[in-house]
Amino acid sequence: MSAKYSHIPPSTHYGSLNQPTISVQMPAWEVNLTQSSITIDGEIDLDISSFTRNGLRYSIGLSLFDERGTRVDWNQDGPENYRRTRSAISLADRVVVDGQCFMNFGVRIPSNEFPVHGQSRVMSVGVKAYALDRPELTTEMVTVQFMLMNVGYPGRRRGSSIRY
């Protein structure tokens, strides 16, 4: 790893030919119990040359993992825009430029998944692409982490001047 990237936050993973690049907008998100949910935004950059040079259709899958590494939700896109409509992971349309595929995504975390006040919770988002007609042709699964922090006191609203 070069000195240029010696302090990469866990919310970013720089990919390679066989690994997607994935990042979330911020490494830490402040939440409180007055919110019904929060959406974690991110983006993917994927080299699709291994799929396109063989004329293969491919799908990009995203998974949400809890702090124990258990997959709690997933979604994927595909040539027919197959998407799980009830998934907490929303996927934007693909943008393909010069053999690179770019896609934005959002992960909606409901308030029942928020940490209790004064605590934090680390979760992960993973991405993997694979050929639909040749499932053995895949990229490596890469993950990034983000933290939910509930720094408020019970009942305290963000920006309130009342101190408990």
pLDDT tens digits, 94-150: 999 988 999 999 999 999 999 988 899 999 999 999 998 898 999 999 999 999 999
How confident is the model over 42-87, as pLDDT tens digits?
Answer: 999 999 998 998 899 999 999 999 999 999 999 998 766 567 878 9
Helix, strand, or coil (residue 51) = helix
How confident is the model over 1-53, as pLDDT tens digits?
Answer: 444 545 567 899 998 888 999 999 999 999 988 889 999 999 999 999 989 98
Q: List Cα–Cα distances, 163 to 4, 35, 118, 141, 156, in angstroms.
A: 42, 20, 14, 45, 8
Output the six-digit token pair for 132: 């639909």
Nearest to 62, CA basis, from 71, 54, 53, 70? 71
